[in-house]
């Protein structure tokens, strides 16, 4: 059992929990995720690791209510426990493979949308620990849906907040802020965008036009976290990938966002899943690594 040490609602339908999981905390890196189960018969829920403390043996998760399982999770309180916490899973951020000296010579831009702020935070925090200050854009629909602003302020070099309705920070989409920053003379070596699929699509479209290499995280389309269900199958360039076992991060300029979003809608129904399985054949899933 994995004890919940802290549990709170960050904003409407978005919750944060600090969980005692020393083995996960000891090994995880920014960009990775884990899978939780509330009891032995519950659904497997993949969640990005928002933060971790190796000394205390804790990990922090942030999640949004999207179905019955996350609705049940939102009712767990401090002192309750998860039946399982499995991780770390997925590949760590590409940035963690580079030396501090290399990173210090790069100008890095992060773009976070909605709950995507949670997986952006550990990467920016890790860079801060390496002596690297990154620019961060955080977007939300309204001020009330903004999360982790204070935490991000503490680790970002420059933080730009924008809301769709103009209720806080800058008014408009995150892409507008990117355009303004570039117009002001900022030259970015890499952009990391994490958030809703439609947001990442348009960020990648813009950065391609601007010539900024871009990494996106496809964690929004993950379901079981092992590749076996086929939910997170995505076309990257001319290759078929699975977000949970090959990612979750990919080259944003190569991801077929339109295909992924259309496929995600189809996957929601049993009939749609059967059709995908029939049409995709041997490439429908890839978690076990032994399918031909």
What tens digit of pLDDT does each residue of 40-60 get?
888 888 898 999 999 999 999
Compute and round to an integer the Cα radius of gyration of the chain. 19
Q: Residue 158: which pLDDT band, with cuts at 50, 70 and 90?
A: very high
Q: Is the pLDDT of residue 66 over 90?
A: no
Q: Is the pLDDT of residue 159 over 90?
A: yes
Partners of 34 in beta bridges: 47
Fold observed for domain 2-89? Elongation Factor Tu (Ef-tu); domain 3 (2.40.30)
Q: Are 188 and 108 in contact (CB under 8 A)?
A: yes
Q: Is the pLDDT of residue 285 over 70?
A: no
| Mean pLDDT on 14-40 | 94
* More confident site: 235 or 224: 235
CA dist., res. 202 & res. 214, Å (int): 12
Least confident interval from 192-206, 253-267, 268-282: 268-282
- Give, as one character, the DSSP assignment of residue 145: G
Q: Are 11 and 64 in contact (CB under 8 A)?
A: no
Q: Are 88 and 32 in contact (CB under 8 A)?
A: yes
Q: Residue 286: which pLDDT band, with cuts at 50, 70 and 90?
A: low
Q: Residue 242: which pLDDT band, with cuts at 50, 70 and 90?
A: confident
What tens digit of pLDDT does each residue of 257-268 get?
998 888 877 666
Q: What is the dihedral of CA 230, 251, 216, 6, to 10 degrees?
A: 70
Domain boundaries, the chain: 2-89, 101-217, 218-292
CATH number, span 101-217: 3.40.50.80
Beta-sheet pairing, 33-37 with 190-194: unpaired
According to the model, what pLDDT value does residue 291 have?
Answer: 43
Mean of the per-residue pLDDT values of the chain: 90
CA dist., res. 162 & res. 185, Å (int): 20
Asked whether the CA dihedral 74, 10, 199, 248 is positive or negative, the reply is negative
- CA 155 vs. chain centroid, Å, equals 18
According to the model, what pLDDT value does residue 26 have?
Answer: 96
Question: How large a percentage of the chain has pLDDT more than 70?
Answer: 94
Q: Are 89 and 33 in contact (CB under 8 A)?
A: yes
The helix, strand and coil proportions of the chain, stated in percent and rounded to the nearest 5, come to 35, 30, 35
């Amino acid at each position: 059992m994995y004890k919940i040490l802290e549990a709170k609602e960050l904003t409407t339908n978005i919750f944060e929990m600090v969980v005692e999981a020393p083995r996960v905390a000891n090994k995880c890196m920014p960009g990775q995720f884990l899978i939780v189960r509330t009891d032995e018969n519950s659904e497997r829920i993949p969640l990005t690791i928002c933060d971790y403390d190796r000394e205390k043996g804790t990990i922090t998760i942030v999640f949004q209510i999207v179905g019955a399982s996350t609705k049940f999770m939102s009712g767990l309180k401090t002192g309750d426990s998860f039946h399982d916490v499995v991780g770390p899973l997925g590949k760590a951020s590409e940035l963690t493979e580079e030396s501090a000296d290399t990173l210090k010579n790069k100008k890095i831009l992060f773009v976070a949308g909605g709950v995507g702020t949670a997986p952006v935070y550990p990467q920016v925090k890790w860079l801060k620990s390496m002596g690297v200050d990154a620019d961060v854009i955080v977007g939300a629909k309204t001020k009330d849906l903004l999360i982790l602003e204070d935490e991000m302020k503490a680790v970002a070099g420059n933080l730009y907040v924008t809301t769709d309705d103009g209720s806080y920070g800058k008014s408009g989409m995150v892409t507008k802020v990117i355009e303004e920053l570039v117009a002001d003379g900022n030259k970015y070596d890499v952009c990391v965008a994490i958030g809703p699929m439609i947001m990442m699509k348009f960020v990648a479209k813009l950065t391609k036009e601007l010539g900024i290499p871009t990494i996106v995280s496809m964690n929004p389309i993950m379901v079981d976290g092992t590749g076996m269900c086929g939910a997170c199958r995505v076309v990257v360039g001319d290759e078929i990938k699975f977000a949970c076992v090959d990612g979750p991060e990919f080259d944003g300029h190569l991801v077929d966002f339109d295909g992924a979003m259309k496929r995600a809608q189809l996957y929601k129904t049993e009939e749609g899943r059967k059709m995908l399985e029939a049409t995709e054949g041997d490439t429908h899933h890839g978690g076990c690594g032994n399918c031909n």
